[in-house]
Amino acid sequence: MHPSDAPAIREISVTDKGAGPYGIATGPDGALWLTFAHSGRIARLTPDGRLDEYPLESSQCSPTVIAPGPDGALWFTRSQDHRIGRVTADGETGSFPVPTRDSGPFGITAGPDGALWFTEMNTDRIGRITCKGEITEFVLPCTGACPSAITAGPDGALWFTLNQANAIGRITVHGDIVIHPLPTAGAAPVGITSDGTALWFVEIAAGQIGRISVDGAIREFPLPDRTAKPHAIVAASTGNCWFTEWGANRIGHITDGGEIAEYSLPSPSSEPHGITVGPDGALWAALETGGIARWEP
Protein backbone atom coordinates (compact mmCIF):
# COMPACT_ATOMS: atom_id res chain seq x y z
CA MET A 1 0.00 0.00 0.00
CA HIS A 2 1.41 3.38 -1.04
CA PRO A 3 2.20 5.76 1.88
CA SER A 4 -0.34 8.27 0.54
CA ASP A 5 -3.01 5.57 0.85
CA ALA A 6 -2.18 4.91 4.52
CA PRO A 7 -5.15 5.52 6.82
CA ALA A 8 -4.81 8.31 9.38
CA ILE A 9 -5.32 6.72 12.79
CA ARG A 10 -6.92 8.89 15.48
CA GLU A 11 -6.92 7.99 19.15
CA ILE A 12 -9.71 8.93 21.54
CA SER A 13 -9.26 8.68 25.31
CA VAL A 14 -12.31 7.03 26.91
CA THR A 15 -11.15 6.00 30.39
CA ASP A 16 -8.17 5.74 32.71
CA LYS A 17 -5.45 3.22 32.10
CA GLY A 18 -6.64 1.01 34.93
CA ALA A 19 -10.04 0.30 33.33
CA GLY A 20 -8.64 -1.75 30.46
CA PRO A 21 -10.77 -1.39 27.29
CA TYR A 22 -10.67 -4.87 25.76
CA GLY A 23 -13.61 -5.99 23.61
CA ILE A 24 -15.44 -3.79 21.11
CA ALA A 25 -18.51 -4.33 18.93
CA THR A 26 -21.02 -2.34 16.93
CA GLY A 27 -24.51 -2.50 18.38
CA PRO A 28 -27.84 -2.43 16.55
CA ASP A 29 -28.38 1.02 18.07
CA GLY A 30 -25.64 2.60 15.93
CA ALA A 31 -23.17 2.88 18.81
CA LEU A 32 -19.94 1.15 19.78
CA TRP A 33 -19.97 -1.07 22.84
CA LEU A 34 -16.86 -1.75 24.91
CA THR A 35 -15.82 -3.98 27.76
CA PHE A 36 -13.61 -2.47 30.48
CA ALA A 37 -11.96 -5.70 31.59
CA HIS A 38 -10.15 -4.38 34.66
CA SER A 39 -12.97 -2.34 36.17
CA GLY A 40 -16.05 -4.48 35.54
CA ARG A 41 -17.90 -2.01 33.34
CA ILE A 42 -19.56 -1.91 29.94
CA ALA A 43 -19.36 1.34 27.97
CA ARG A 44 -21.42 2.72 25.09
CA LEU A 45 -19.70 5.18 22.74
CA THR A 46 -21.48 7.04 19.96
CA PRO A 47 -19.51 8.01 16.83
CA ASP A 48 -19.83 11.67 17.85
CA GLY A 49 -18.07 10.97 21.16
CA ARG A 50 -20.75 10.55 23.82
CA LEU A 51 -19.71 7.94 26.39
CA ASP A 52 -22.00 6.18 28.88
CA GLU A 53 -20.72 3.60 31.35
CA TYR A 54 -22.66 0.81 33.02
CA PRO A 55 -21.08 -0.83 36.08
CA LEU A 56 -21.63 -4.56 36.55
CA GLU A 57 -22.47 -6.08 39.93
CA SER A 58 -18.86 -7.26 40.31
CA SER A 59 -15.89 -5.03 39.52
CA GLN A 60 -13.74 -8.17 39.34
CA CYS A 61 -15.85 -10.11 36.81
CA SER A 62 -13.55 -9.21 33.89
CA PRO A 63 -15.90 -8.61 30.94
CA THR A 64 -13.96 -9.59 27.83
CA VAL A 65 -15.49 -10.18 24.39
CA ILE A 66 -18.79 -8.50 23.46
CA ALA A 67 -21.12 -9.13 20.52
CA PRO A 68 -24.58 -8.04 19.33
CA GLY A 69 -27.31 -10.57 19.97
CA PRO A 70 -30.40 -11.44 17.93
CA ASP A 71 -32.59 -9.76 20.55
CA GLY A 72 -31.22 -6.24 20.07
CA ALA A 73 -29.07 -6.44 23.21
CA LEU A 74 -25.29 -6.87 23.57
CA TRP A 75 -23.96 -10.08 25.07
CA PHE A 76 -20.52 -10.52 26.63
CA THR A 77 -18.39 -13.02 28.50
CA ARG A 78 -17.27 -12.55 32.10
CA SER A 79 -14.12 -14.63 32.33
CA GLN A 80 -13.41 -14.23 36.05
CA ASP A 81 -16.82 -14.98 37.58
CA HIS A 82 -17.76 -17.41 34.81
CA ARG A 83 -20.98 -15.81 33.65
CA ILE A 84 -22.49 -14.61 30.38
CA GLY A 85 -23.59 -10.98 30.58
CA ARG A 86 -26.27 -9.06 28.73
CA VAL A 87 -26.82 -5.31 28.38
CA THR A 88 -29.71 -3.59 26.64
CA ALA A 89 -29.36 -0.50 24.48
CA ASP A 90 -30.49 1.65 27.41
CA GLY A 91 -27.97 0.13 29.82
CA GLU A 92 -29.97 -2.49 31.73
CA THR A 93 -27.60 -5.33 32.65
CA GLY A 94 -28.07 -8.96 33.65
CA SER A 95 -26.05 -12.17 33.68
CA PHE A 96 -26.33 -15.96 33.65
CA PRO A 97 -23.95 -18.45 35.32
CA VAL A 98 -22.24 -21.02 33.11
CA PRO A 99 -23.18 -24.48 34.46
CA THR A 100 -19.62 -25.86 34.49
CA ARG A 101 -17.60 -24.42 37.37
CA ASP A 102 -14.60 -22.16 36.66
CA SER A 103 -15.26 -22.35 32.92
CA GLY A 104 -13.52 -19.10 31.94
CA PRO A 105 -15.81 -17.97 29.10
CA PHE A 106 -14.00 -15.79 26.56
CA GLY A 107 -15.23 -15.58 22.94
CA ILE A 108 -18.87 -15.01 22.05
CA THR A 109 -20.85 -14.56 18.83
CA ALA A 110 -24.42 -14.68 17.55
CA GLY A 111 -25.17 -17.97 15.83
CA PRO A 112 -27.42 -18.68 12.84
CA ASP A 113 -29.96 -20.35 15.15
CA GLY A 114 -31.11 -17.31 17.15
CA ALA A 115 -28.79 -18.06 20.08
CA LEU A 116 -25.34 -16.92 21.25
CA TRP A 117 -22.36 -19.27 21.17
CA PHE A 118 -19.33 -18.92 23.43
CA THR A 119 -16.07 -20.60 24.35
CA GLU A 120 -14.98 -21.93 27.74
CA MET A 121 -11.21 -21.53 27.98
CA ASN A 122 -10.71 -23.56 31.15
CA THR A 123 -13.02 -26.52 30.58
CA ASP A 124 -12.69 -27.46 26.90
CA ARG A 125 -16.30 -26.72 26.08
CA ILE A 126 -18.35 -24.67 23.64
CA GLY A 127 -21.50 -23.13 25.10
CA ARG A 128 -24.80 -22.05 23.61
CA ILE A 129 -27.09 -19.59 25.37
CA THR A 130 -30.59 -18.64 24.28
CA CYS A 131 -31.89 -15.11 24.64
CA LYS A 132 -33.81 -16.35 27.70
CA GLY A 133 -30.55 -17.48 29.34
CA GLU A 134 -30.84 -21.24 28.82
CA ILE A 135 -27.34 -22.73 28.42
CA THR A 136 -26.25 -25.93 26.70
CA GLU A 137 -22.61 -27.07 26.71
CA PHE A 138 -20.73 -29.25 24.22
CA VAL A 139 -17.55 -31.05 25.30
CA LEU A 140 -14.61 -30.86 22.89
CA PRO A 141 -12.69 -34.01 21.93
CA CYS A 142 -9.45 -32.65 23.40
CA THR A 143 -8.16 -31.50 26.79
CA GLY A 144 -6.20 -28.39 27.69
CA ALA A 145 -7.15 -26.91 24.30
CA CYS A 146 -8.10 -23.42 25.55
CA PRO A 147 -10.90 -22.56 23.11
CA SER A 148 -10.67 -18.81 22.59
CA ALA A 149 -12.44 -16.72 19.94
CA ILE A 150 -15.54 -17.88 18.04
CA THR A 151 -17.45 -16.63 14.99
CA ALA A 152 -20.35 -17.67 12.79
CA GLY A 153 -19.08 -19.14 9.52
CA PRO A 154 -20.48 -18.81 5.99
CA ASP A 155 -21.54 -22.47 6.11
CA GLY A 156 -24.07 -22.19 8.95
CA ALA A 157 -21.64 -23.56 11.55
CA LEU A 158 -19.59 -21.92 14.30
CA TRP A 159 -15.80 -21.74 13.99
CA PHE A 160 -13.41 -21.23 16.88
CA THR A 161 -9.73 -21.12 17.75
CA LEU A 162 -8.07 -23.67 20.03
CA ASN A 163 -5.19 -21.66 21.45
CA GLN A 164 -3.32 -24.48 23.18
CA ALA A 165 -4.33 -27.32 20.84
CA ASN A 166 -2.92 -25.42 17.87
CA ALA A 167 -6.06 -25.93 15.83
CA ILE A 168 -9.26 -24.45 14.44
CA GLY A 169 -12.53 -26.07 15.45
CA ARG A 170 -15.95 -26.22 13.80
CA ILE A 171 -19.22 -27.01 15.53
CA THR A 172 -22.64 -27.30 13.95
CA VAL A 173 -25.76 -26.00 15.66
CA HIS A 174 -26.51 -29.63 16.50
CA GLY A 175 -23.18 -30.06 18.31
CA ASP A 176 -21.15 -32.00 15.73
CA ILE A 177 -17.47 -31.06 16.12
CA VAL A 178 -14.50 -31.26 13.73
CA ILE A 179 -10.95 -30.18 14.62
CA HIS A 180 -8.48 -28.89 12.00
CA PRO A 181 -4.82 -28.91 13.18
CA LEU A 182 -2.65 -25.99 12.06
CA PRO A 183 0.48 -26.54 9.95
CA THR A 184 2.66 -24.38 12.22
CA ALA A 185 3.49 -25.87 15.61
CA GLY A 186 2.86 -23.68 18.64
CA ALA A 187 1.00 -21.02 16.65
CA ALA A 188 -1.51 -20.31 19.47
CA PRO A 189 -4.46 -18.96 17.42
CA VAL A 190 -6.70 -16.37 19.12
CA GLY A 191 -8.97 -14.06 17.06
CA ILE A 192 -11.14 -15.38 14.23
CA THR A 193 -13.56 -13.79 11.76
CA SER A 194 -15.59 -14.71 8.69
CA ASP A 195 -15.33 -12.69 5.47
CA GLY A 196 -18.45 -14.37 4.08
CA THR A 197 -16.48 -16.93 2.12
CA ALA A 198 -13.73 -18.22 4.40
CA LEU A 199 -12.51 -17.86 7.98
CA TRP A 200 -9.48 -15.75 8.92
CA PHE A 201 -7.59 -16.05 12.19
CA VAL A 202 -4.47 -14.78 13.93
CA GLU A 203 -1.59 -16.83 15.33
CA ILE A 204 -0.37 -14.83 18.30
CA ALA A 205 2.70 -16.98 19.05
CA ALA A 206 3.81 -17.53 15.45
CA GLY A 207 3.28 -13.99 14.14
CA GLN A 208 1.08 -15.16 11.27
CA ILE A 209 -2.37 -14.67 9.81
CA GLY A 210 -4.25 -17.79 8.77
CA ARG A 211 -7.11 -18.52 6.39
CA ILE A 212 -9.23 -21.67 6.49
CA SER A 213 -11.84 -22.51 3.89
CA VAL A 214 -15.05 -24.27 4.88
CA ASP A 215 -13.61 -27.53 3.55
CA GLY A 216 -10.69 -27.25 6.00
CA ALA A 217 -7.90 -26.12 3.64
CA ILE A 218 -5.49 -23.84 5.54
CA ARG A 219 -3.10 -21.15 4.33
CA GLU A 220 -0.74 -19.18 6.59
CA PHE A 221 0.81 -15.76 5.95
CA PRO A 222 3.85 -14.73 8.03
CA LEU A 223 3.91 -11.13 9.24
CA PRO A 224 7.00 -9.00 8.56
CA ASP A 225 7.53 -8.92 12.34
CA ARG A 226 7.00 -12.42 13.70
CA THR A 227 7.00 -11.05 17.27
CA ALA A 228 4.05 -8.69 16.66
CA LYS A 229 1.57 -10.88 18.59
CA PRO A 230 -1.56 -10.44 16.44
CA HIS A 231 -4.60 -10.67 18.70
CA ALA A 232 -7.99 -9.87 17.14
CA ILE A 233 -9.20 -9.75 13.54
CA VAL A 234 -12.25 -8.46 11.67
CA ALA A 235 -13.32 -8.72 8.03
CA ALA A 236 -14.35 -5.46 6.35
CA SER A 237 -15.33 -7.36 3.19
CA THR A 238 -14.41 -10.57 1.39
CA GLY A 239 -10.64 -11.01 1.41
CA ASN A 240 -10.17 -7.70 3.26
CA CYS A 241 -9.29 -8.12 6.93
CA TRP A 242 -7.87 -5.89 9.65
CA PHE A 243 -6.15 -7.08 12.80
CA THR A 244 -4.51 -5.76 15.95
CA GLU A 245 -0.84 -6.36 16.73
CA TRP A 246 -0.86 -6.32 20.52
CA GLY A 247 2.89 -6.83 20.86
CA ALA A 248 3.95 -4.30 18.20
CA ASN A 249 1.51 -1.42 18.80
CA ARG A 250 0.20 -1.61 15.26
CA ILE A 251 -2.88 -2.23 13.16
CA GLY A 252 -2.46 -4.63 10.27
CA HIS A 253 -4.29 -5.29 7.01
CA ILE A 254 -4.30 -8.41 4.84
CA THR A 255 -5.86 -9.12 1.47
CA ASP A 256 -7.12 -12.40 0.06
CA GLY A 257 -3.84 -12.77 -1.80
CA GLY A 258 -1.82 -12.41 1.39
CA GLU A 259 -0.56 -8.84 0.88
CA ILE A 260 0.11 -7.33 4.30
CA ALA A 261 0.34 -3.68 5.37
CA GLU A 262 0.96 -2.41 8.90
CA TYR A 263 0.31 0.96 10.56
CA SER A 264 1.73 2.19 13.84
CA LEU A 265 -0.57 3.61 16.49
CA PRO A 266 0.11 7.22 17.56
CA SER A 267 0.67 6.43 21.25
CA PRO A 268 3.44 4.01 22.24
CA SER A 269 2.58 0.74 24.00
CA SER A 270 -1.18 1.27 23.68
CA GLU A 271 -1.94 -2.48 23.71
CA PRO A 272 -4.58 -2.86 20.96
CA HIS A 273 -7.02 -5.71 21.55
CA GLY A 274 -10.53 -5.92 20.09
CA ILE A 275 -11.36 -4.55 16.64
CA THR A 276 -14.61 -3.94 14.76
CA VAL A 277 -16.14 -2.20 11.77
CA GLY A 278 -18.01 0.73 13.29
CA PRO A 279 -21.49 2.06 12.55
CA ASP A 280 -19.86 4.83 10.49
CA GLY A 281 -17.98 2.36 8.26
CA ALA A 282 -14.63 3.18 9.89
CA LEU A 283 -12.46 0.69 11.77
CA TRP A 284 -12.32 0.95 15.57
CA ALA A 285 -9.98 -0.79 17.99
CA ALA A 286 -9.93 -0.95 21.79
CA LEU A 287 -6.66 0.09 23.41
CA GLU A 288 -6.10 -1.46 26.82
CA THR A 289 -4.26 1.62 28.07
CA GLY A 290 -7.53 3.58 28.04
CA GLY A 291 -8.31 4.68 24.51
CA ILE A 292 -10.01 3.85 21.24
CA ALA A 293 -8.35 4.04 17.82
CA ARG A 294 -10.37 5.03 14.74
CA TRP A 295 -9.32 5.07 11.10
CA GLU A 296 -10.91 5.11 7.68
CA PRO A 297 -9.16 2.91 5.09
Q: Domain containing 85 — which CATH number?
A: 2.130.10.10
- Residue 231 marked in a binding site: yes
DSSP class of residue 258 equals: -
User: Is 273 a residue of the active site?
Assistant: yes
Is 2 annotated to bind a ligand? Reply is no
Own/partner contacts of 68-74, CB < 8 Å, gap of 24 or more, are 68/25, 68/26, 68/27, 68/28, 68/33, 68/110, 69/110, 69/116, 69/131, 70/110, 70/114, 70/115, 70/131, 71/131, 72/28, 72/29, 73/131, 74/25, 74/27, 74/33, 74/42
From the list 38, 82, 253, 273, the catalytic residue is 273
Look up the pTM and report it. 0.97
Domain of residue 206: give its range: 3-295
Q: Could you list the mean pLDDT of each consecutive 10-residue stretch along the chain, which spans 297 residues?
A: 68 91 97 97 94 96 98 98 97 98 98 98 98 98 98 98 98 98 98 98 98 98 97 97 97 97 95 97 96 94
34: amino acid identity, one letter: L
| Amino acid identity for residue 239 in this structure | G
pLDDT in the model for residue 6: 72
Encoded amino acid at 275, one letter: I
Q: By the 8 A CB rule, do 202 and 209 touch? A: yes
- Is 38 among the annotated ligand-binding positions? no
CA 61 – CA 80 distance, rounded (Å) = 5
Whole-number pLDDT of residue 122: 98
Number of domains in the chain: 1
Quick one: pLDDT at residue 2? Answer: 45
